[in-house]
Structure 1
Amino acid sequence: MRTLCINLKTPQESSSAEAFLLLSPRVQFRFPQFIFVEIESTQHLFGGEHRTMEKALEIARKFSGDPAVAIADTAPAAQMFSRWRPSYVAPRGKEQEGFRGLGLDALKDLEGLHPWPQKRPIEHMISFFHTLGVHGLEDVLNFRMNSLRERWGEFGVLLWNRLHSQDSQVISPLVPRDPLVGYGYFDDPLGAVPLLMARIKPHMDILFARLAGLSRYAQRMDLILHCEYSDKKHPVSIEPVSPTRDQELFEDLLEKKLTSLVLQNPIREFEISVFDVPEKVQQLDFFEPRDNTEDRWRRLISFAKQAQCDMGFLQMEASHFPEQSFRLVTDWPEDFKPQDLVERQEEALQVKSVYAKSLATSPRPALLLDKPQLLSTAEAQKLRFVSSLPSERIESSWWQISVQDLKNRDYYFALSHQGQLLWVFKDRINLQVYLHGYFD
């Protein structure tokens, strides 16, 4: 069984292990800064053990400035190598080969999921070996189990088992239970937004690393800033138009909001919380569009929403009259979903993304006026109707109460004197002409 040990070198919360669920479901935290991951069945997904170790380092750097990792057959050896031989991958079934050149002090780190009950026995053991002229870790392998048992009892047996890869330590699947929260305290109160962002960002790095490990999306992030000289608090809430793990987006939105605050009273501490939802799963194939326009749209609409600006797309509604058949939505419309257009030239292929393909053949214009515009007789006479017969007829229902509510329209395609293709209708009751839309 292959085990990856991550030594974060600084004390961490047990929740930090959630970020490494990207590597395997079997993850275990050991106080104060060790994380063990069973990668026997998952390392091939990352391209092998070395690539898995590189991915682990990438995640670990969000928690620590100088993490260390190692891989071995057992958790005790993996921990020891992470301390004395960082980034070492022990040969499968031959982890003792990595003991060469290591001193006896390395025995203190031969622990794994279960640390030594006390440090004094192992220190006494190291001193005893030195008196025998044994100074290298590989030389201790020559001692028999019975010899160690006679001298140190069960502790000697435990040491022999760990040295010979016989100490079975099972890493159980991790069941996340901790909330996505963070807390920061400043020894020197801060009142400048750039300094605040620099101190908050490490906490966001950790929270979003945990989100990725949990395969969750952030729906909202709440930040509470506690002032130094009073009980005043500055609550800040960030909520994009759709859940995402785009940490850069949350940072940009947060910085914009902090800039709008008046921080005359400096900040002493802060609390940060992330409210998560299940991530969206998409099936990808070879011809999946490479363009991420939809993601860029979400960023744009999030900034517009924070600035209290209405922005979006007009979505069709099931209504009888065109001016009542759309509403403003912020979600990326299904009609705008990109489709791949595969162009073939001789033996070459080129894949292009095509948007709103269905709108090109729509019988109604893409640009529709909120309210039909009445044209004067002179304006109507300047129009050149494409056909004498209407392309569409719309009538009010027979149960309309008053005559003024009746609507009877004949729609036509018409060209303006400027060459624009217009969508107009004639009111069959008052015989007036109205402009209702433009074709792109």
Structure 2
Amino acid sequence: MRTLCINLKTQQESSSAEAFLVLSPRVQFRFPHYIFVDIESTSHLLGGEHGVLQKAVEIGRKFSADSSAAIADTAPVAQMLAKWKPFTVAPRAAEHREFSGLGLDALKDLEGLAPWSQKRLIEHVISFARTLGVCTLEEVYNFRLVSLRERWGDFGVLLWNRLHSQDSQVISPLVPRDPLVGYGYLDDPLGSVPLLFNRIKPVMDTLFARLNGLSRYAHKMEVILHCEYSDKKYLLLIEPISASRDQALFEDLLYKKMEKTELTNPIREFEVSVYDVPEKIQQLDFFEPRDNSEDRWRRLISFAKQSNCEMGFLQVEASHFPEKSFQLVTEWPEDFKSEDLVERQDNAVQVKTTYAKGLKESPRPSLLLENPQPLNSFEVQKLRFVSTMPSERIESSWWQISSQELKHRDYFFALSQQGQLIWIFQDKVSSQYYLHGYFD
């Protein structure tokens, strides 16, 4: 079995192990800051053991800037190397070769999933070895099993087994149970948004690392700020237009909302809760960038939503009435292709954008006036009608009983004096012409 040990250096919650589920389903946390991962069957999926080591350190740095890791056949040796020879990949079936250059104090970290039950026993072993002139781990490795058993009994046998890769420690699959919740207490209350945000960000780093390990998406995040001099608290709700693991988006939205929040007194503590949903399954081309047009669109529309702005795509609807011809939708169209159409003829190249390809199939403009604008006879004379026959005729039906409904309209295409294509209609009851929309 090949085991990876990550030493996070600072005390962590057991839930931190969830962040490493991207490496293997067999992950185990050991107090106060060790993560053990069985990578025997998964390392080839991540670029080999060196690729796994690099990925583990990258994740570990989200918890502690100086975290380290190592890989060996057994958990005890992996833990020892993570501290004394960080970023080491010990040879398979020959991990003892990495004992070279290590002193006796390294024995204190030869633990794995089960720490030494009594620290004084291993310290006694170290002290006794030094009285014999033994100062390196390699020399202790060469001790015979019978000698260690006679001197220290079962503890001596356990020490020999760990030195010789005989202490089998099985890493069980991790079953996540903890909610995605983080907490922070400030010894010095803060009222400055930049400083407060910098204290919240490490908590978000941890939560989103766990989210990624769980292969889940975040659809909402709540941040509660507790004031110092009163029971007042601020609830900041961050909810992008669609669920994602884009931590930068959540950070940007949170920072903007914090800037708009007037803090009446400094903040003493805060809570961060992430509400997750199952990951969307999407088959990506190997070379397709993760940050595609759809992701950038969702970032943009999330900012707009938080600022109470309405935006989206105009979707053509099959409706009898012009006012209902288009619907504003925020979801990225499934058949939307952002590639431009490039036409080549002789030595000329013409680029035709396809962002409004749906509109070319509609005889109605996308820019409609909320209230049609009456045109006087002088304004009508200045227009150049594209045809003498109406392009569309709309009549009220028998089921329309409201006087506000359409009566009888003939629609025409016309060019204004500025050369802009506009959409006008003539009310056949009053003979009045109206401007109803512009073609984009």
TM-score (norm 2): 0.89
Q: For residue 378 of structure 1, report the CA deviation from its aligned partner.
A: 2.9
Aligned to 2:86: 86
Match in the other structure for 1:160? 160
Is 2:186–2:269's contact at 8 Å kept on the other side of the alignment? yes
Determine the structure 2 residue equivalent to 1:45. 45
Question: 2:358 aligns to what SS in structure 1?
Answer: helix
**Structure 2 counterpart SS, 1:374:** strand
The answer to whether the aligner puts 1:245 opposite 2:245 as a matched pair is yes
- The Cα shift of 1:287 comes to 8.3
Kindly state the Cα deviation for residue 318 of structure 1 after the two structures are TM-superposed.
4.7
Shift of 1:167: 1.7
Change over 3 Å in CA distance of 1:343–1:316 after alignment to 2: closer
Check conservation: 1:323, 1:371, Cα contact below 8 A: no
CA distance in 2, matches of 1:263, 1:183: 19
> C-alpha displacement at 1:354, in angstroms?
4.8
CA pair 312-354 structure 1, distance change in 2 beyond 3 A: closer
Within the alignment, does 1:66 sit opposite 2:66 as a pair?
A: yes
Give the deviation of 1:5 after TM superposition: 0.7
Please say if residues 77 and 112 of structure 1, whose CA atoms lie closer than 8 Å, have aligned partners that are also in contact. Answer: yes
| Aligned partner of residue 71 in structure 2, secondary structure | strand
195-204 vs 45-54, which moves further: 45-54
1:377 to 2:377 alignment: yes
Q: Is the 8 A contact 1:289 1:340 kept in 2?
A: no
Question: Is residue 2:332 matched to residue 1:332?
Answer: yes
Task: Report the RMSD for the aligned CA atoms in angstroms.
Answer: 2.8
1:107 Cα offset (Å): 1.4
- Decide whether the 8 Å contact of 2:316 with 2:358 is kept in 1: no
Question: Letter of the aligned partner of 1:285 in structure 2?
Answer: D
Runs of 4+ more than 4 Å apart: 286-291, 333-337, 339-345, 351-354
Q: Does the CA-based 8 Å contact 2:396-2:406 persist in structure 1?
A: yes
Question: Distance in 2 between the 1:402 and 1:353 partners?
Answer: 42
With over 3 angstroms needed to count, the CA separation of the structure-2 counterparts of 1:358 and 1:323, relative to structure 1, is: closer
Counterpart of 2:348 in structure 1 is: none
In the alignment, residue 216 of structure 2 is paired with which amino acid? R
- TM-superposed CA distance for 1:435, in Å, is 2.6
Alignment of 1:139-150 (within 5 A): 139-150=139-150
Q: Pairwise mapping of residues 17-28 of structure 1 onto structure 2 (< 5 A)?
A: 17-28=17-28
Q: Which amino acid aligns with 1:393?
A: R
Return the alpha-carbon distance in structure 1 between the equivalents of residues 148 and 353 of structure 2: 70
Q: CA deviation at 1:166?
A: 1.8
Equivalent in the alignment of 1:191:
191
Q: CA deviation at 1:10?
A: 0.8
> Residue 229 of structure 2 aligns with which residue?
229
| C-alpha contact 1:375 1:433 (8 A) present in aligned 2 | yes
CA distance in 1, matches of 2:290, 2:125: 61
Most deviating of 369-378 and 182-191: 369-378
Shift, 1:269, TM fit: 1.3
Shift of 1:286: 6.3
Structure 1 unmatched runs, 5+: 346-350
Q: After superposition, what is the alpha-carbon deviation per residue over 1:26-84, rounded to whole angstroms, capped at 9, x for unaligned? A: 21111100001122222233322222212211111111121111111111111010011
Alignment partners' CA distance in 1, 2:343 and 2:211: 39
**After alignment, is 47-56 or 289-298 more displaced?**
289-298
Q: Among the aligned pairs, what percent are the same residue?
A: 75
- Cα 1:343–1:328 change in 2 (3 A) is closer
Contact 1:393 1:411 in 2 (8 A): yes
Amino acid at match of 1:92: R
- Partner residue of 1:348? none
Paired residues of 1:338 and 1:356 also in contact (CA < 8 A):
no
| In structure 2, C-alpha distance between the alignment counterparts of 1:393 and 1:96, rounded to whole Å | 89
Structure 1 residue 273, shift from structure 2 partner: 1.2
Q: 1:413 to 1:223 in 2, by over 3 A?
A: same
User: Structure 2 CA distance, aligned partners of 1:380 and 1:253?
Assistant: 49
Provide the residue aligned with 1:269 in structure 2.
269
Partner of 2:213, secondary structure, is helix
Deviation of 1:86 after TM superposition, in Å, equals: 0.6
Structure 1 residue 407: deviation in Å? 3.1
Counterpart amino acid of residue 372 in structure 2: P
Alignment CA distance shift 1:110-1:288 (3 Å)? closer
Q: Give runs of aligned pairs for residues 20-419 of structure 1, distance below 5 A.
A: 20-285=20-285, 292-334=292-334, 336-339=336-339, 354-401=354-401, 405-419=405-419
